Structure 1
Amino acid sequence: MSENVLQNAAHHQPRSSSAPGNRRAGTVLMASAAIYFSAEFIAAAAWTDPPYSYTHHFISNLGVHGPTTAFGQFMYSPLAWVMNTGFVLFGLTALAGVVLLRGLPGKRRRLHLLLAVLLAAGGVTLGFFPGSGETPADGVDYHALGAFAAFLGGNVLSILLGGAHRALGFSRRLGIGLKVAGVYGLLSIPAYLAVTASEKGILIGLVERGIVDPFLIGFLVLGAALRRT
């Protein structure tokens, strides 16, 4: 982070309130991504017969205990509860991190909060409605709704956070990185839908992670930068 950016942030934001608040926000944003990646790793490591594949299997399979078969994939996640708990905690923690951010103007802050709520709602919905392929009684696929809420909320939020680098006091380079991560994630959504519609499922897990992992990594890097602000 350049010295000029820090000086500008100091002129526009009260150091006694904004900087400590954003350091806390940075810690919480890092925690949200860490919760997700930890839950994913633990649940995937417990899936050994046959081994879980990060490139072949859907992410949501980790939240389905099974054993069952859906969408052409065998699902058996012994620690499904870990992944589902991770979905819920990750979403709520990301929301808390955005709530703690200081320095955003009123309208921009409300927009950031709206997207964070969308992301959190998606995470909670994923946790409570595993993607087992079973049709709900009311015919609504809540798991799919939760997934796309998280996809859109997380990636658009990443883009907006990148555009707020001056207000939040981190480098323009990181701001560009956050925007690239969000755009890449959004462009991966149609690729994911195309692979899913093909019913061949070639590298579907890898494509789906192209939607989620970039903005999560962005949260980690942004959180570290805010902690240094």
Structure 2
Amino acid sequence: MNDIKPLERSSVPQRRAAGAALIASGVVYFVAEFIAAAAWTDPPYSYTYHFISDLGVHGPSTAFEQFMYSPLAWVMNTGFFLFGLAVLAGVLMLRGLPRGRRWALVTTAALLAVGSILVALFPGSGEAFDNGTAAYHGLGAFTAFIGGNVLAILIGRAHRLLGVSRGLGRALVVLGILGFVSLVAFMAVLGSAAGVLIGFFERGVIYPFLIGFIVLGAALRKREVPTQ
């Protein structure tokens, strides 16, 4: 317990900066997704039918029996890229953690960031299966899926050290678990090739931890001194 110390008031600006970065991570993602989806009108993009990464494919292209044509694909890919970096920046600025827990959080956030960047750099188009880059896209997506939900759980378990409420800590853990349950459902639907609500279940994997990061960021900015 000797390496667990409360945050000093001098660290408050950095704490608030960490909160701002975590809020930005979720906001950047949701805004990019909304803009890219709104631009896809012929036929309209479906949040429940289409894969999320379809928004990063300009196309026209086809993969997994889905037609992809995202006029503002660059917006979604920029969102993927900046989202990952913002999460990593926010976690790097967190203070009050013993070395072991800090290492675990930073490593997990780095995995999430790398996964998001891979998704941004290697869109999951039909052509990606021909040129061999689909593997990078798939690796990035699942690294981000796992990294984001593990990170939510780890942060939730460290709530006292970070000075956020027990209720928020429990909520983050629940959101992470919900993400993993959704991942199982997503993989089952993907493996069945039925494609029923594939977009819905994929969003169930990432929306919970995205919302969790935004709420956590708001809590970090609100509280000046961590509770014990």
The CA RMSD measured in Å over matched residues stands at: 1.4
Among 135, 138, 144, the alignment partner of 1:144 is 138
- Cα deviation code 1:122-176 (max 9, x no counterpart): 0100000001132254576100000001001100000000001100001000000
Among 138, 154, 157, the alignment partner of 1:160 is 154
5+ residue gaps, structure 2, are: 224-228
Pair 1:117 & 2:114 matched: no
Deviation at 1:69, TM superposition (A): 1.3
Q: TM-score, normalised by structure 1?
A: 0.92
Among 200, 214, 217, the alignment partner of 2:208 is 214
Pair 1:189 & 2:183 matched: yes
**3-state SS of the aligned residue for 1:78?**
coil
Which letter does structure 1 place at the counterpart of 2:19? G
**2:221 alignment counterpart:** 227
In the alignment of these two chains, the number of paired residues is 219
Q: Between 133-142 and 67-76, report the one with greater CA deviation.
A: 133-142
**1:90 alignment counterpart:** 83
Which letter does structure 2 place at the counterpart of 1:203? L
Is the Cα–Cα contact under 8 Å of residues 18 and 103 in structure 1 kept in the other structure?
no
**2:226 alignment counterpart:** none
Q: In structure 2, how many angstroms separate the alpha carbons of the residues matched to 1:135 and 1:49?
A: 24
Is the Cα–Cα contact under 8 Å of residues 112 and 143 in structure 2 kept in the other structure?
yes
**3-state SS of the aligned residue for 1:74?**
strand
Q: In structure 2, how many angstroms separate the alpha carbons of the residues matched to 1:139 and 1:126?
A: 10
- In the TM superposition, 1:173-188 aligns within 5 A as 173-188=167-182
**2:41 alignment counterpart:** 48
Identity within the alignment, %: 62
Which letter does structure 1 place at the counterpart of 2:95? R
Is the Cα–Cα contact under 8 Å of residues 119 and 153 in structure 1 kept in the other structure?
yes
Which letter does structure 1 place at the counterpart of 2:8? R
**1:67 alignment counterpart:** 60
5+ residue gaps, structure 1, are: 1-10
Q: In structure 1, how many angstroms separate the alpha carbons of the residues matched to 2:10 and 2:219?
A: 17
**3-state SS of the aligned residue for 1:17?**
helix
Q: In structure 1, how many angstroms separate the alpha carbons of the residues matched to 2:133 and 2:70?
A: 25
